[in-house]
Amino acid sequence: MDENCLAYGIEISDSDWEKTPAKVKQLVEKMGQHIKESEEKLAEQEAKQQELLEKINRTSKNSSSPPSMNPLDAEKRPEKKKSGKKRGGQAGHKGHSRLLYELSECESVLNHHPETCSCCGEILLGEDANPYRHQIVEIPPIKPIIVEHRLHQLMCQECGTLTRATLPVDVYPSGYGVRVVALVSVLSGLYRHSTRMVQSAVQDIFGITMSLGTVNKLRFEASLAVESAVEEAKIYVQNSRVVGADETSFAQGNVDGRNSKKSQAWLWVAVTPLVTFFQISLSRCSDAARDILGKEFGGILNSDRYAAYNWVGLEQRQLCWAHLRREFIKISERPGVSREIGTALVKQQEKLFELWHRVRDGTLSRCEFQLLVREIRTSLKLLLQEAAEYQIASKEKTPLAKTVRTCRQLLKVEPALWLFVTVEGVEPTNNAAERAIRPAVIWRRTSFGSQTQTGSIFVQRMLTVVTTLKSQRRNVLEFVTQAVSAKRQGQLTPSLLPQVPASAVAVKNAA
């Protein structure tokens, strides 16, 4: 009996098939081959169609795309019902007033007394023990302090040699003070202004005229001033107990000849609660990850599943559940078996985070949390194994094949999904690193990266300084001013490491 007939449910006995004319047999075989080729083409077209649908439906919820790249109709919010209330604060609403400065900070205090009664006109005497306070905050006219040094040249009466005086040791030859250098670097590094915007700002606000080349020279001086502090921060991060890591693309030109291959640069970040370190590299490979984390990294790494981090053992890793949720949602949006598996995976992830939020709120103990997570972990692993057991071709591109490959990859790193359950201080997501790298992404978009390696070094150092000081609630301008002053005077650079309170030091010394 012919296989083509069996495939379509047509039963023909062997004797009848033998009696079939040869031309009919050939026709049946050709039709069967044609149908087979048509089915293969149809399957290929369906796979391409599904791939295009995934690209069209790509949002920040099912991929790593930022929310700013979402389509306008990606998430339709339900219309709020009108309450019928007037706009503004409602009756009983707790008001918020402007914070007043301390009296010691006031330039002057002016007392105003009413002269007569507003009702009967009688003359009023006395003092109000608790007068209403109204403060006016003003900025004085800003004028730069300019000190001129005149270097006289005199002729020797004996030999006729002309000798010119030299600048004092404490006078820097650049022509700009430490506060100007710090201001230029902070306008660039903290507020992400371009070279021309910095030039315009110092002219319009402070009345200081400088060329574009001078702006870059002052940035370079600030970069050198914070160099040792940034290196100290790098060592601190590499020896920290828990580190979050992430990376994003960054453009570096070849004006100085340091990027002759015109390679894509990458901005790496390593985050701890109080110190953050940035580094720009012309590579996204494992060597770059080792360089920022340290070859002997012994802490816990919180990151996504990018392969450059695979040299860190699974027992030291916590994979980001925010990235996993996007993968699960992507799987649930595919047709067939993938939809069922993806939907079930999303439900398990939601159960897990409901419990985790209770742990953070203090309504669930960690011991109870660990017991409840066991069932979720078992269910999730079974779902991954169920998907991984489907047989697919090596180069198959169907939606199911993509799901199977993803689930097989997740099974390989499954132990690294649960470290946050047993180890306190470890977060289930890598949101800290993604939040830290966001200002760098905005800087990259507005400045189009850097043109030289020196420019990239300035970017990574200033991002390190700004992000670290912000997390410690320290003043960035004050720190950079101190760093530039210390560099000029040959003194130690101030540290970016967390400041130990004097009381804590006293207790430690007493112990």
- Return phi, psi of residue 170, to 5°: -85, 5
For residue 69, the model assigns a pLDDT of 65
Residue 186, token pair as written in the block: 């902070």
pLDDT at residue 504 tops 60 = no
Q: What is the DSSP string of 100-129?
A: PPPGGG-S--------B-TTT-PBP-S--S
pLDDT at residue 87 tops 90 = no
How much of the chain, in percent, has pLDDT values that exceed 70? Answer: 88
Which H or E run includes 203?
Answer: helix 195-206
Residue 286's identity, in one-letter code, is S
For residue 241, the model assigns a pLDDT of 96
What is the rounded distance in angstroms from the CA atom of residue 103 to the CA atom of residue 96? 21
Residue 484's identity, in one-letter code, is V
pLDDT at residue 390 tops 70 = yes
Residue 83, token pair as written in the block: 């309450």
Which H or E run includes 280?
Answer: strand 276-281
User: What is the rounded average pLDDT of the residues 464-473?
Assistant: 96
For residue 506, the model assigns a pLDDT of 42
For residue 46, the model assigns a pLDDT of 73
123: which strand partners? 116
CB 241 within 8 A of CB 210: no
For residue 32, the model assigns a pLDDT of 74
User: What is the rounded average pLDDT of the residues 182-202?
Assistant: 93
Residue 468 CB neighbour total at 10 angstroms: 28
**Mean pLDDT score of the chain, rounded to an integer?**
88
C-alpha R_g of the chain: 34
Q: Of 45-59, 132-146, 252-266, 385-399, give the lowest mean pLDDT range.
A: 45-59
Specify the 3-state DSSP secondary structure of 56.
helix
Q: pLDDT-based confidence at 210, cuts 50/70/90?
A: very high
What is the rounded distance in angstroms from the CA atom of residue 242 to the CA atom of residue 430? 11
What is the rounded distance in angstroms from the CA atom of residue 348 to the CA atom of residue 61? 17
Query: Using CB atoms within 10 A of its CB, is residue 297 exposed (0-12), middle (13-18) or buried (19+)?
Result: buried
pLDDT at residue 7 tops 60 = no
User: What is the rounded average pLDDT of the residues 285-310?
Assistant: 95
Task: Read off the pLDDT of residues 341-359 as tens digits, 9 standing for 90 and up.
Answer: 999 999 999 999 999 999 9
C-alpha closest to that of 344 among 372, 393, 382, 388: 382
User: What is the rounded average pLDDT of the residues 189-208?
Assistant: 93
For residue 508, the model assigns a pLDDT of 41
Between residues 304 and 510, the one the model is more confident about: 304
Evaluate the CA torsion angle 9, 12, 13, 17 in order and state its sign.
negative
CB 444 within 8 A of CB 463: no
How much of the chain, in percent, has pLDDT values that exceed 90? Answer: 67
What is the rounded distance in angstroms from the CA atom of residue 469 to the CA atom of residue 476? 6
pLDDT at residue 16 tops 70 = no
